[in-house]
């Protein structure tokens, strides 16, 4: 490539090469230049929004330089790369993260202050990039940060949704969904009109003969939609490595936009065609842990997968290697089953386009893919209807049939007497209509399958994928416990705590090597250190209390115990158990004498989270939380002893505000239902304790921090089946305290009780599938232990500090290194200067 450019030209370009700003003054120049030229504003009309835009553009220029170098270097080094395919990347805000990762925040803070702005106000102008629902999407974002920080050549591939997750408003206690216009100003993306891929849907399959007279299969005659790449730079922390997140946007393919109609006056008709194409990347499906099963969702999946694979294959082909080396150059990780069609698409490219024999092609495919499972909930396991697949992707369905046939033949040879086995493991479920079990296809097409926490990885082997362990052996199945990036979730969200830790450990190395937190332990008895630690917690609580007052009008005493549950609202996560517990607490307080009340630990119960728009029960839970807040918060008897707050529109940037303010956070899913949970890690890393069930990563957190530092409650996963059975046969008496809570709701204390009928009956006639009544009394007793422990301020501080010191394991970096070694077989690159 170098040699093709004349020496003179090369020198000219080198001499003129853009360079990064250095120091405060150059930073300020860049900001002012952008405000005055890019935005055409001046000091007379530069508001916070313009200051944000100027700062973001200055930082963006800096990122782009490292980004270009990284990409050139990755091409030059020509080593194996990893591609993380995820329908969700819950990135949150970029500016603060960019400043911190490139270590220019102090310069920017001072520089922007001299121009008349507070850096916090500037940062708060940014819209979240909310291209995800919850844990799965945020995990993908943490992984990108880890990949870049560790200098792995790793790209993300996703969809550029016009509308990310909806904005939640609370109106009269109910959730109302409002569109999120996040793209109105987004300096962090770069359209690549030259990177365009045509993607076909529908059409028909026919047999043909090529020039040598060989039979070939052609898929043609379908509708073509164009994918346009938008690239987002992903800077690593304290490294020049800046990786790429490539998001695809849909538009009509050239020629598909019907100029015939346009010219004959059917303008509206032609616009309709255009809109049909644009609809593909228009909106994120707002379901967390529920499969929608809609045709448009399947179109999104294929559109994204086809564009990404085309891009990956094109990059590979530029190296002129034989196809057999594809898995030595490319690792593709499937974030859940959403991108499973990538397996079929690669097989299609290899056999239909590259004319590689089936077996050779299949070997390449399985060596390339790894599949991560994120749930065992049956309603979340994707099953696509065969007639829909036949209609939308006829050639892919044929290939799936062949994959299934060869697989079942192998199984039949292994288990000749077990006919039932074949029906159980077939990709096709014999229902009406037939459906494709995407998880089975993902397992069959990958070389490694992993769960996201130990318990979850064990459960999938013992339950939903049991037969596949018998077929492939246990080594195909692994565990990679989730992790979080300490850059965003400690350094960015909780700068004071990060600074205090750095002052003791002698610098910020721990942000790259989180196990260094162990070195905090010698300071555990240091009075001054403990005082500073608890003072930081208090200041984070004051920051949150102020936000709550400004946004809801509710005043929360910062000295109260902050009890926080923020996550998607879902029956399995059991926010209902939490709010029932709050009602029980309220009833107890009401029954107390004023003397007794003096001994009570004041508590602020803080909730946040979105319900899927069509999930009625989840919406009812939100309604109940708000109704309880209405009653409790204005009860003069109760005062500061209990406050109930629902924070609107929980998202990544709110999480950064809320998590550092927690004393205790709740992770109380029915045992065996929460695959991992990742906010549990974020809360503990920020010096909060947790109350939780023996589920997901709570178990490993307990192992790391010690069971004296966590409040565990409830039944174990192994008991769940039996308990559910007993409920179905009416053998369970409802817990009397839960009965009293339900009676209070039914009395109308929290407004029209008919609103909550479904919620109450889910516990009774609904067989209490999530076992609230089985865990309720354990939950209440454990909450009493929390109060007790909180009274001992010193003991509490010791628990918090010891826990933080033990959190090294939960860094996304550890997690990425495990994927790299065990699944991807990729090595880091030496970062460019």
Residues with active-site annotation: 374, 567-568, 573, 678, 682
Binding segment for ligand Z2T among 127-135, 201-209, 264-272, 778-786 (CB under 6 A)?
127-135
Minimum CB–partner distance for residue 828 and ligand Z2T (Å): 24
Could you say which DSSP state residue 833 is in? -
Minimum Å gap between C-beta 135 and ligand Z2T is 3
Shortest Å, Cβ 550 to ligand Z2T: 30
Read off φ and ψ for residue 86, nearest 5 degrees.
-140, 135
Cα-trace Rg, the chain? 28
3-state secondary structure of 545: helix
Interacting residue with ligand Z2T among 97, 102, 281, 678 (CB under 6 A) = 678
User: In terms of Cα–Cα distance, which of 681, 706, 682 is closest to 696?
Assistant: 681
User: Among 312, 452, 564, 689, which residue interacts with ligand Z2T (rule: CB under 6 A)?
Assistant: 452
* 126, 674, 700, 768: residue in contact with ligand Z2T (rule CB under 6 A): 674
Helix (H, G, I), strand (E, B) or coil at 81: strand
- The DSSP symbol for 337 reads S
Restricting to residues 508-527, name those near ligand Z2T by CB under 6 A.
none
Closer of 296 and 405 to ligand Z2T (Cβ): 296
Residue nearest to ligand Z2T (CB): 135
Give the nearest distance from C-beta 166 to ligand Z2T in angstroms: 15
Residue with smaller CB distance to ligand Z2T, 700 or 735: 700
Which residue in 97, 249, 565, 676 binds ligand Z2T (CB under 6 A)? Answer: 676
**Residue nearer to ligand Z2T on the CB measure, 618 or 675:** 675
* Interface of this chain with ligand Z2T, residues 291 to 350, rule: CB under 6 A: 336
- How far apart CA 311 and CA 465 sit, in angstroms, is 32
- Find the length of the chain: 833
3-state secondary structure 341-400: HHHHHHHHHHHHHCCCCHHHHHHHHHHHEEEECCCCCHHHCCEEEHHHHHHHCHHHHHHH
Q: Can you tell me which residue has the tokens 């979850």?
A: 456
Choice from 49, 65, 170, 380 touching ligand Z2T (CB under 6 A): 380
Residue number, 133 or 565, with CB nearest to ligand Z2T: 133
Helix (H, G, I), strand (E, B) or coil at 691: strand
Q: How far is the CB of 209 from ligand Z2T (least distance, A)?
A: 44
d(CA 147, CA 156) in angstroms, rounded, equals: 10
- Closer residue to ligand Z2T in complex, CB, 336/735: 336
**Apex CA 732: angle with CA 726 and CA 736, to 5°?**
160
Q: Tell me the two tokens of residue 312.
A: 């990956």
Q: Within 13 A of 563's CA, how many CA atoms are on the CB side?
A: 27
Select from 675, 720, 797, 816 the one that contacts ligand Z2T (CB under 6 A): 675
Task: Give the nearest distance from C-beta 126 to ligand Z2T in angstroms.
Answer: 23
Tell me the DSSP string of 113-145.
HHTT--HHHHHTTSPPEEE--SHHHHHHHHHHH
Q: Which is nearer to ligand Z2T, 133 or 693 (CB)?
A: 133
Q: Is 123 in the site for ligand Z2T (CB under 6 A)?
A: no
Binding region for ligand Z2T (CB under 6 A) out of 94-102, 198-206, 374-382, 729-737: 374-382
Nearer to ligand Z2T, 410 or 703 (CB): 703
Site string for ligand Z2T, 198-227 (x = CB under 6 A): ------------------------------
User: Cβ distance 134 to 568 under 8 Å?
Assistant: yes
Q: Tell me the C-alpha to C-alpha distance, in Å, between residue 767 and each of 251, 284, 620.
A: 48, 33, 18
- Give residue for tokens 């006639």: 765
Which residues within the stretch 685-724 sit at the binding site for ligand Z2T (CB under 6 A)?
696
Give residues with Cβ within 8 angstroms of 628, minimum separation 6.
579, 582, 583, 586, 644, 750
| Smallest distance from ligand Z2T to CB 328, Å | 28
Query: Which of 66, 134, 187, 688: binder of ligand Z2T (CB under 6 A)?
Result: 134
Site for ligand Z2T in 31-90 (CB under 6 A): none
Q: Does 133 bind ligand Z2T (CB under 6 A)?
A: yes
Closest approach of ligand Z2T to the CB of residue 669, in Å: 8
The packing angle between helices 358-368 and 394-414, to 10°, is: 90
The only residue of 85, 94, 139, 455 in contact with ligand Z2T, by rule CB under 6 A: 139
Q: How many CB atoms lie within 10 A of CB 272?
A: 12
The answer to whether residues 448 and 822 touch, using CB atoms and an 8 Å cutoff, is yes
Please enumerate in sequence order all residues whose Cβ is within 8 A of that of 213, keeping only pairs 6 or more positions apart, or say none: none
Give the contact letters, 463-482, x = binds to ligand Z2T (CB under 6 A), - = no: -------------------x
> CB-wise, 716 or 785, nearer to ligand Z2T?
716
Question: Given the rule CB under 6 A, which of 141-149, 529-537, 668-676, 709-717 is the region that contacts ligand Z2T?
Answer: 668-676
Which of residues 375, 565, 576, 806 is near ligand Z2T by CB under 6 A?
375
Among 289, 498, 578, 651, binds ligand Z2T (CB under 6 A): 289
Give min distance, CB of 230 to ligand Z2T, in A.
22
Query: 97 vs 482, which CB is nearer to ligand Z2T?
Result: 482
- Of 122, 123, 130, 136, the one binding ligand Z2T (CB under 6 A) is 136
Six-digit token pair at 207? 């047999």
CA distance 164 to 282: 9
Q: Tell me the window of 101-109, 128-136, 192-200, 648-656 that interacts with ligand Z2T (CB under 6 A).
A: 128-136
Cβ atoms of residues 299 and 384 within 8 Å: no
Pairing of strands 664-667, 689-693: parallel
Would you count residue 451 as binding ligand Z2T (CB under 6 A)?
A: no
Report the distance separating Cα 607 and Cα 648, nearest Å. Answer: 9
Angle at 117 (CA atoms; ends 112, 120), nearest 5 degrees:
90
C-alpha to C-alpha distance for 656 and 177, rounded to whole angstroms: 22
Distance (Å, whole) CA 323 – CA 507: 47
Residue 355 gets the label, from left (phi > 0), alpha (psi -120 to 50) or beta, of: left
Choices 60-68, 131-139, 268-276, 633-641 (CB under 6 A): range interacting with ligand Z2T:
131-139
Q: Nearest distance from residue 698's CB to ligand Z2T, in Å?
A: 11
Minimum distance, C-beta of residue 456 to ligand Z2T, in the bound complex (Å): 8
- Name which of residues 568 to 587 contact ligand Z2T (CB under 6 A): none
CB 615 within 8 A of CB 285: no
Per rule CB under 6 A, count of chain residues that contact ligand Z2T: 19
- Of 239, 225, 228, whose CA–CA distance to 193 is shortest? 228
d(CA 203, CA 608): 46
The CA-CA-CA angle for residues 143, 305, 227, to 5°, reads 105
CB of 666 to ligand Z2T, least distance (A): 14
Bridge partners for 200 per DSSP = 224
Q: How far is the CB of 656 from ligand Z2T (least distance, A)?
A: 18
Query: Which C-beta is closer to ligand Z2T: that of 102 or that of 289?
Result: 289
- Of the pair 88, 311, the CB lying nearest ligand Z2T is at 88
Closest CB to ligand Z2T among residues 377, 712:
377
Q: According to CB under 6 A, which one of 30, 189, 231, 288 is a site residue for ligand Z2T? A: 288
Beta bridge partners of 741: none
Collapsed DSSP state (helix, strand, coil) of residue 447: coil
Closer CB to ligand Z2T, 446 or 482, in the complex: 482
Given the rule CB under 6 A, which of 34-42, 389-397, 670-678, 759-767 is the region that contacts ligand Z2T? 670-678
Give the interface with ligand Z2T as residue ranges (CB under 6 A). 133-136, 139, 288-289, 336, 374-375, 380, 452, 482, 674-678, 696
């Amino acid at each position: 490539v170098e040699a093709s450019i004349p020496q003179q030209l090369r020198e000219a370009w080198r001499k003129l090469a853009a360079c990064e700003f250095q120091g405060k003054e150059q930073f300020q120049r860049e900001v002012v230049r952008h405000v005055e030229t890019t935005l055409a504003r001046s000091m007379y009309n530069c508001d916070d929004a313009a200051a944000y835009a100027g700062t973001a553009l200055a930082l963006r220029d800096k990122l782009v330089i490292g980004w270009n170098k990284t990409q050139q270097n990755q091409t030059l080094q020509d080593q194996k790369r990893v591609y993380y395919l995820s329908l969700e990347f819950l990135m949150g805000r970029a500016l603060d993260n960019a400043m911190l990762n490139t270590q220019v925040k102090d310069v920017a803070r001072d520089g922007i202050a001299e121009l008349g702005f507070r850096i916090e106000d500037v940062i708060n102008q940014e819209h979240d990039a909310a291209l995800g629902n919850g844990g799965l999407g945020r995990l993908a974002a943490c992984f990108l940060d880890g990949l870049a920080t560790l200098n792995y050549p790793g790209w993300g591939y996703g969809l550029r949704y016009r509308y990310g997750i909806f904005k939640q408003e609370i109106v009269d206690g109910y959730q109302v969904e409002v569109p999120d216009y996040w793209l109105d100003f987004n300096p962090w993306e770069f359209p690549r009109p030259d990177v365009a891929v045509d993607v076909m849907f529908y059409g028909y399959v026919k047999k043909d003969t090529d020039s040598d007279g060989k039979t070939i299969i052609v898929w043609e005659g379908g509708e073509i939609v164009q994918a346009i790449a938008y690239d987002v730079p992903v800077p690593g922390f304290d490294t020049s490595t800046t990786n790429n997140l490539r998001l695809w946007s849909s538009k009509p393919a050239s020629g598909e936009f019907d100029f015939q109609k346009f010219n004959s006056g059917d303008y509206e008709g032609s616009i309709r065609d255009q809109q049909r194409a644009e609809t593909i990347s228009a909106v994120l499906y707002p379901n967390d842990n529920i499969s929608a099963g809609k045709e448009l969702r399947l179109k999104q999946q294929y559109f994204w997968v086809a564009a990404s694979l085309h891009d990956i294959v094109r990059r590979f082909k530029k190296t002129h290697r034989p196809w057999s080396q594809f898995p030595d150059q490319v690792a593709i990780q499937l974030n859940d089953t959403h991108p499973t069609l990538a397996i079929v698409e690669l097989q299609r490219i290899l056999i239909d386009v590259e004319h590689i024999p089936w077996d050779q092609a299949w070997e390449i495919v399985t060596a390339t893919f790894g599949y991560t499972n994120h749930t065992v909930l049956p309603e979340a396991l994707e099953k696509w209807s065969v007639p829909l697949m036949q209609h939308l992707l006829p050639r892919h369905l044929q290939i799936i049939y062949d994959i299934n046939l060869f697989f079942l033949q192998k199984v039949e040879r292994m288990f000749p007497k077990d006919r039932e086995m074949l029906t159980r493991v077939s990709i096709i479920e014999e229902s009406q209509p037939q459906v494709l079990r995407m998880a089975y296809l993902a397992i069959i097409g990958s070389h490694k399958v992993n769960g996201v926490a130990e318990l979850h990885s064990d459960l999938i082997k013992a339950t939903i994928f049991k037969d596949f362990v018998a077929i492939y052996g246990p080594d195909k199945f692994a565990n990679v416990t989730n992790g979080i990036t300490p850059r965003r979730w400690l350094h960015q969200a909780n700068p004071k705590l990060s600074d205090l830790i750095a002052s003791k450990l002698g610098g910020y190395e721990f942000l790259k090597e989180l196990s260094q937190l162990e070195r905090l332990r010698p300071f555990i008895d240091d009075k001054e250190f403990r005082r500073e630690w608890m003072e930081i917690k208090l200041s984070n609580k004051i920051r949150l209390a102020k936000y709550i007052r400004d946004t809801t009008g509710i005043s929360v005493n910062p000295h109260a115990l902050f009890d926080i549950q923020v996550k998607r609202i879902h029956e399995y996560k059991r926010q209902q158990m939490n709010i029932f517990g709050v009602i029980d607490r309220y009833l107890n307080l009401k029954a107390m004498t004023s003397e007794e009340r003096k001994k009570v630990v004041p508590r602020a119960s803080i909730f946040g989270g979105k319900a899927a728009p069509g999930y009625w029960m989840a919406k009812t839970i939100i309604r109940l939380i708000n109704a309880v807040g209405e009653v409790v918060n204005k009860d003069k008897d109760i005062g500061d002893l209990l406050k109930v707050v629902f924070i609107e529109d929980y998202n990544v940037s709110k999480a950064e505000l809320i998590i550092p303010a927690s004393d205790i956070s709740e992770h109380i899913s029915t045992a065996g239902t929460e695959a991992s949970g990742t906010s549990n890690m974020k809360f503990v890393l920020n010096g909060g304790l947790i109350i939780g069930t023996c589920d997901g990563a709570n178990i490993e957190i307990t192992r790391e921090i010690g069971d004296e530092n966590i409040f565990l409650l409830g039944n174990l996963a192994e008991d769940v089946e039996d308990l559910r059975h007993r409920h179905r046969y009416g053998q369970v008496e409802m817990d009397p305290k839960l009965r009293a809570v339900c009676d209070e709701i039914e009395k109308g204390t929290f407004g029209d009780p008919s609103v909550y009928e479904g919620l109450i009956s889910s516990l009774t006639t609904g067989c209490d599938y999530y076992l609230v009544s089985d865990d309720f009394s354990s939950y209440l007793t454990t909450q009493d232990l929390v109060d007790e422990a909180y009274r001992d301020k010193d003991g509490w501080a010791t628990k918090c500090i010891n826990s933080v010191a033990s959190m090294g394991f939960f860094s996304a970096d550890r997690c990425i290194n495990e994927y790299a070694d065990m699944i991807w077989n990729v090595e880091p690159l030496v970062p460019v200067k």
